[in-house]
Every structure is written in structure tokens, then in C-alpha cells.
Structure 1
Amino acid sequence: MHYSSAQEDVLFFQTNWGYSGKTIDFIKKAKDSGYDGIEIWASNIPIQQKTISQALKMFDMKVIFLCGSNPNLPYEKSLEEYIGYLKNTLEQNPIAINSHTGSDFYTFEQNMTFISEADKLSKLYNIPIYHETHRGRFSYSLPETIKYLEKNEINLTLDISHWMVVHESLLNKQKKLLDKVIQNTNHIHARVGFEEGPQVNDPTAPEWKNTVDRHFDIWESVILKQWNEKKVVTITTEFGPPNYMPTEPITRRPMSNQWEVNVFIMNSLKDRIKKIKN
């Protein structure tokens, strides 16, 4: 299939996970690196909200906000806080929300309530809320997530790196289940995991080529699905800092540069997208 539209139908977002500088400096650096926007945890503090909003306008950048329920709280309290957090975040008018939803220790029905409440608010504010595939949440595994998708249509953020380590596999034999997930995916978290961990030490290293290629193949499937549905593709590069980033013992020196790795993933995806369109 030939795609001839310009690359504005794919938007790239940078994570501030591990960034210790000022918000305005982070947003400028993301802009200068070639990103279209940022993905950060939403703030409930008005002065911080204003700072973020002003910086986004200054650099003409978009934002996806992260929200999440607190899985350490009892179910009722966690749900109450989650609803309030979502409302506050939706009022800030992001292009979307990426949600860490529920808990792997809550029941199926309890987790469905989190999803249902988010869906109501998403429709009320006309802002999409995507539920990330994530360890420790309702979506901690591929077969468990399928149970929820069989019950209801759920908008997902696909972070496939979590499932690579959960299932100790690159999921090469799970096409049928993955296809179901991909059909419900609206946002990508682009990090490369492997059978023994959620993040390879350096995706540019040749020993990870097969693993990196596997992730790119899955991401391409999501991209093509979004294009076929005439939707904009949004991708957040999300390699994390230490201790997510493997480090040397004693010195704790990171095995690679987090920012550079995320930019590498973005630029590699841009190159792949050009090849798809041609």
C-alpha cells in the first residue's frame, strides 16, 4: 500500500522522565531535537500548570499528559483520587491522556470500573484517554489484557516492552492476540524491552538488532492501522533513566545516554516511515 501524505500524520513526543532541569529548558531541548510535543505527568498545582502552558505556547509544542491511579491505596480511595486527577488533567486540555490504570491486584470488575469512569470523562471532555499496557496495572500481560478487550472496546497505549519481559518472549508466536491489541491501540510508547528486562542497554548495539527489529515491526503495524483509520499517529519515545537504564556496578554510570537513545528511536522511526510511504 502506498502512502503519499506528508509526515505530519505522525507526531513524536519526548518524555521528561529523568530530566532534572527546568520545564522550559526541557521543552526547548525537545523542540530542538525534532519532537512535536512532550509527554509528562500532569500537575495539580496551578502555578506549575501555568508554567507548562506558557512554555508549550512559546515553542509551539503539543502535550500528552500522564495520569494514573494509586495502586497502593484501597480500591475505593484509589478510584476516587483517579477520577479527580483525570478531571483536573482534562481541564488543562491536552491532546490526549496516557493512563496508568487500575492494578494487577484489583479484581476484573474493579479495574473495569476505572476504565468505565475514564471513558465517561473522555466523552464528556472530548479528549481521548489511552490506557497503557503496563506491568502492575490491569494490562500487565497480553492474555490478561485480552480478557478486558473481549468485555469492552478499550483505547490503549501500547508499550510492548513490558510484555516482552512479563512473558520472557518477543511474542513471535502470539500474532492473533497481538493483532487484537493492535486494533485497539491509539498511541505508542517506543521503548525496546527484551526477555529479561523492560529496556535494552543500548538499542544501537548490534547484539540487539533482532530485538529492535521486532519492536519496529510491531510499531509499524500500529502505524498502518492508524493510517487505515485516517488517524494521526502519536509516538512517545520512552527509554528511561537509571535505574531503568542499566548501569555499571559501583560507578552507576549509565550504559548509554537516555536523551540520545530516545532521539535515535525517533529518527529511526522517521526513516522507517519514509520507506513505508515510498
Structure 2
Amino acid sequence: MKLRGYKSLWEWNGLWNGKLEQIGEAGYYGVEYTPPSDVKDDRQFRKDLDAMNLSFIAQVVTRGPNHIQSFREQVLRAAELRPELINSHSAADRMSADEQLRFFEAAIRVEQEIGIPIAHETHRGRAFFTPWQTAAVLKQLPELTIGADFSHWCAACESMPSPEDADVQLSLARAIHIHGRVGYPEGPQVSDPRVPEFAAHVETFISLWLTICQHRFDAGAVTMTFTPKFGPPPYMPVLPFTQQPVSDLWAVNLWMFQTFKKRFEAIFD
């Protein structure tokens, strides 16, 4: 099984001009973000990706009042860009259990229609904002798969996700895409994963990610997608008064990718 690393365009608010060569040279397989803000730019975006031999993971972000319609419209547009996978911020935490179930049943039908894998991200403010809420839905829909960004659970639950927790274990088994960000019990992003004070947090997350990879390997997958997802301010802490980020975002994400790649290849490559 091969690891495919993707660079999020979040760092540049989705702008890709002048960035793709740098991304390719750093060893990333592709980029991840929402489609261009203007649909008229979709064709040029895909052309630029092809010119650099880069793959694409599309992000969609559903909005109310009709999350099902929002999901369908965004997914159909994203599919035109030929993504390897679609990662979705799906539904809302305030929706009832029945409303969430109807949403995900509809989402599965759309996924079957387009023939592209869709991962529903574990994200605050969304249906999968806690391990137990995620598990409640996954138990009802065996076909549903997730994008694992467990750093959000650190903030929502004020604790590190435990590999011993049955609900976490179910999410590990159903994840098909990883967002590589390390959280801590009070927040979704440590200031810098390279420093010794966060070594235990980094190790906890790497262990969880490798468990996901093992599940995918056992299922016969030949690739695993991984996007280091440390974000800019306000995710990235800043210094008071100057508002300067406390670490270099490009360097932090590249370190996270290279560190996980080394651990992954020691087992699966």
C-alpha cells in the first residue's frame, strides 16, 4: 500500500497560482481544497493540476436550510473536476438524529450516482462532532465512510481520542482519508508538533492514523490518502500585539507529512 500525500490550499485561501510547482517539488501527490471560488475557473484549475501531474481531493461544505440539496449541488460540481476523493463537512450538529440519518442516506445515493468515494469529516459543528455521535450514525449505515480529523474531537470533548474507546474504534475502521493535524485536550491544533512538549500528543495521533491504515490495508486498499492539516490563524496561535504566527505553517505541514510517511513506509511499503 502506498501513501499519497496531499497539500491543503487552506494556507493560501484556495489560491493555487504559483503554488503548484512548490507543492509538487515538496513530494506531495496532489492538493486538497474546495473547488475554485468562481466556477469559471474550474477548467483552468484542472488544466493546471494536469500540467503539474497533481491529483485533487475536493472539499465540500454543506449549508442549511437544506443540507441535502447543498451537498448534492456541491458534489456534482466537484465531480466535474475529476477528484480522487471528496471530503465533506456534512450536515450540522444541531440537526436531529432523524434529520442526520436522512441526510446521510441521501449522501450515499449521491456517492453511488457519481462513482467517487466520499468521506464525511469528523468536524466540530457538523454531524460527526464527537466519537459517540459519529458511531451512532455509522452503526446504522454500513456503507458510510469518514474523513478522520480527530483533532476536532479534542476540542469538542476536551480530551484526547482513546484507541480503547469502542466508538473511536468504529471510526478508525470506517475512515478512508486522514487529515493529519494534532490536537490537545483544549484545542484542535498544537502550536508546533515538532517540539518535545507535544511529543506524546503526536505519538497518540500517529498511532491512530496507522491503525486506520492497517484497516485499509486489511481491506485490500492499494493507496492511503493523507493531508497534513495544520491551519493558519486563528488555528495557528499568534504572538500578542504583533499577531505573528508562532511557527512556520508550510514547514509544520511538510514535517507532519514526512514524519508520518516515514512511519507508514516502515510498516506498509
**Would the TM-score normalized by the shorter structure come out above 0.5?**
yes
Residue 228 of structure 1: how far off its partner (Å): 1.3
SS of 1:13's equivalent in the other structure is strand
The count of aligned residue pairs is 267
Residue of structure 2 in register with 1:81 after alignment: 70
Residue 68 of structure 1: how far off its partner (Å): 1.4
Residue of structure 2 in register with 1:203 after alignment: 193
Q: Which amino acid aligns with 1:32?
A: E
Moved more, 25-34 or 188-197: 25-34
Residue 90 of structure 1: how far off its partner (Å): 1.5
Residue 274 of structure 1: how far off its partner (Å): 2.6
Determine if the alignment matches structure 1 residue 19 to structure 2 residue 2: no
Determine if the alignment matches structure 1 residue 235 to structure 2 residue 226: yes
**Contact 1:44/1:88, CA 8 A, preserved across alignment:** no
Unaligned runs of 5+ in 2: none
SS of 1:18's equivalent in the other structure is helix
Q: TM-score, normalised by structure 1?
A: 0.91
The structure 1 residue matched to 2:148, chosen from 142, 151, 158, is 158
Moved more, 123-132 or 167-176: 167-176
Residue of structure 2 in register with 1:218 after alignment: 208
Residue 114 of structure 1: how far off its partner (Å): 2.2
Q: Which amino acid aligns with 2:149?
A: D
Residue 213 of structure 1: how far off its partner (Å): 0.4
Residue 221 of structure 1: how far off its partner (Å): 0.3
Residue 113 of structure 1: how far off its partner (Å): 2.2
The structure 1 residue matched to 2:25, chosen from 24, 27, 32, is 32
What is the aligned-residue identity percentage?
27
In 1, the alpha carbon distance for the partners of 2:152 and 2:14 equals 28
Instruction: Kindly report structure 1 stretches of 4+ aligned residues shifted beyond 4 Å.
Output: none
**Contact 1:86/1:118, CA 8 A, preserved across alignment:** no
Q: Which amino acid aligns with 1:272?
A: R
Determine if the alignment matches structure 1 residue 244 to structure 2 residue 235: yes
**Contact 2:150/2:161, CA 8 A, preserved across alignment:** no
Residue of structure 1 in register with 2:245 after alignment: 254
Deviations 1:15-57 (A, max 9, x none): 0113158513222111111100000112363431012101111
Deviations 1:114-136 (A, max 9, x none): 22222112111110111000000
**Contact 1:134/1:159, CA 8 A, preserved across alignment:** yes
Deviations 1:131-161 (A, max 9, x none): 0000000000011111101111211001010
Deviations 1:50-106 (A, max 9, x none): 121011111100000000111xx32x3x33222211111112221110000000011
**Contact 2:162/2:168, CA 8 A, preserved across alignment:** no
In 1, the alpha carbon distance for the partners of 2:14 and 2:139 equals 43
Q: How does 1:80-159 map to 2 (within 5 A)?
A: 80-153=69-142, 154-159=144-149
SS of 2:190's equivalent in the other structure is coil
Q: 1:46 to 1:168 in 2, by over 3 A?
A: closer
Over the aligned positions, Cα root-mean-square deviation in angstroms equals 1.6
In 2, the alpha carbon distance for the partners of 1:160 and 1:216 equals 11
In 1, the alpha carbon distance for the partners of 2:59 and 2:163 equals 31
Residue 173 of structure 1: how far off its partner (Å): 6.5
Moved more, 205-214 or 146-155: 146-155
